Structure 1
Amino acid sequence: MNDEGQRRGSGRRTPGAGPRDASPDGVSPDGAAPGREKPPRKPDDSAAQARDVVYRLLASRARSRLELRQALLRKDIDEEIADAVLQKFVDAGLVDDASFAEEWVNQRQRSQGLGRKALGFELRRKGIDEHLVESALSTVDSDAEAERARELVQRKLRGMGSVEHTAKMRRLVGMLARKGYSEGLAYRIVKEEIENAGDPAADSDLDLP
């Protein structure tokens, strides 16, 4: 073979050889065989990722155990690993549904003016056990709840001067009901505040459904 043929032959690939970037054992640089998926994460890797997710979420605000568990599952963390990691946070006192429930009730009542019904609904949706829900709701002061409802009605009344009395009553009672206040409390507060505003029809009764 002449020199030119040797040069051409030196650039040829041996029949059946894999791609140039494959390792000698046929495994690609990312650790997976050609045409196959990457190997699953090791349990230690998943646990570390789960801890990072939990720490990051808790850094922004307190969360219930169910909220954290759902977040881990959305990250494709195995259920057993997620539960094991969360139990360690519970044992360390960093995840506490009882404390979370009380903090949630106080914060939501102050910031959103929510009544007991709405607060209980939110806690149950977050996976808080019923006895913890009842315990947290028991911390709501009845006088403070009534005062918060009164503030909401007073604020709304300022823009309802031309609204007919019955419509005004229904709108205000409905607003408090949506905020989670009991029907009796809502009706009493609305009636008192309309009377205080000098509505001449304030003595009339509203037929509630």
Structure 2
Amino acid sequence: MYEQQMHGNDSTIITSIEQQKRNRSRYNIYINHEFSFAVHEDILVKYRLMKGREINPEEIKEVLIAEERNRAMQYALRFLSYRPRTATEVSEHLQRKGFLREDIDGIISYLQDKKYLDDQSYALQWVEERKRLKPRGRSLLRMELIQRGIDDHLADQALEDQLTGQEEREMIENWIYKKCSQKKFPNLYEMKKRIVPFLQRKGFPLDLILEVVHTVGEDFLE
């Protein structure tokens, strides 16, 4: 592509640089009076791209490689700006955008070093928020974490640190009172038919569900 822009032994010179109107952080680079490529302002500064500078094909190639990595980084940072993500989520997002595996791996490592990505912290925060906003049992929480790319060990550690058996028991009790408060049952069997499948879908263990039902069940009998 760039070889075609050279004419014999003529110098390859940056003849113009224009700031893009729709994205003020990007600049169009013109070589020998023809548009050649566009770069982010960080790349413009890093490689000292300026009007009148001579630039050879190898330098252009290096600039374009750096620009592509920078573009991937901008996508990653924008993706992270909305809410915390796991390393897997960021990696898959960049893959969908078509970036190279080696560039993605480098970006993930950089973001982890800077603590912009921290799967351990993410897992702890996820469990804590779920307990507060969408109560559910250990098995469902573990599945949610793994689906988001959290390592099995980190998922188990987060659950161990953030969710006690007593908290699960209280969640089950709260769900029972929420789902059954407007209804009376003739016996525990009928109550179990209504509430047990629901609580199992929420990820709570059957033995703990039955234990809590037997403890509070009389409050809901006719």
How well do the aligned residues superpose, as a CA RMSD in angstroms? 2.6
Cα deviation for residue 30 of structure 1 reads 6.6
Which amino acid in structure 1 is aligned with residue 96 of structure 2? Answer: R
Does 1:143 pair with 2:173? no
Which amino acid in structure 2 is aligned with residue 120 of structure 1? Answer: R
Cα deviation for residue 24 of structure 1 reads 11
Report what 1:157 is aligned to: 180
Counterpart selection for 2:143 from 105, 118, 121: 121
Report what 1:47 is aligned to: 69
Retained in 2: the 8 A contact 1:153–1:172? yes
- Over 3 Å counting, the alpha-carbon distance change for 1:43 and 1:159 in structure 2 is farther
Counterpart selection for 2:93 from 71, 75, 79: 71
Paired with 1:147 and 1:30, the residues of 2 have a C-alpha distance of 66
Cα deviation for residue 162 of structure 1 reads 6.1
Q: 5+ residue gaps in structure 1?
A: 1-22, 33-40, 201-209
Cα deviation for residue 61 of structure 1 reads 1.5
Counterpart selection for 1:81 from 103, 122, 127: 103
Report sequence identity in percent: 27
- Over 3 Å counting, the alpha-carbon distance change for 1:47 and 1:159 in structure 2 is farther
Retained in 2: the 8 A contact 1:65–1:86? yes
Paired with 1:113 and 1:138, the residues of 2 have a C-alpha distance of 16
Cα deviation for residue 172 of structure 1 reads 0.7
Paired with 2:119 and 2:198, the residues of 1 have a C-alpha distance of 30
Paired with 1:24 and 1:49, the residues of 2 have a C-alpha distance of 27
TM-score normalised by structure 1 residue count: 0.71
For 1:16-51, what per-residue CA distance to the aligned partner results, in whole angstroms no more than 9, with x for missing partners? Answer: xxxxxxx998xxx7759xxxxxxxx93222222222
Does 1:174 pair with 2:197? yes
Cα deviation for residue 191 of structure 1 reads 2.6
Q: Which has the higher strand share?
A: 2
Report what 1:56 is aligned to: 78
Retained in 1: the 8 A contact 2:185–2:191? no
Paired with 1:109 and 1:190, the residues of 2 have a C-alpha distance of 20
- 3-state SS of paired residue (1:138): helix
Paired with 2:35 and 2:168, the residues of 1 have a C-alpha distance of 60
Retained in 2: the 8 A contact 1:160–1:168? no
For 1:64-109, what per-residue CA distance to the aligned partner results, in whole angstroms no more than 9, with x for missing partners? Answer: 1001101111111111111111110001111111111111111112
Name the count of aligned residue pairs.
167
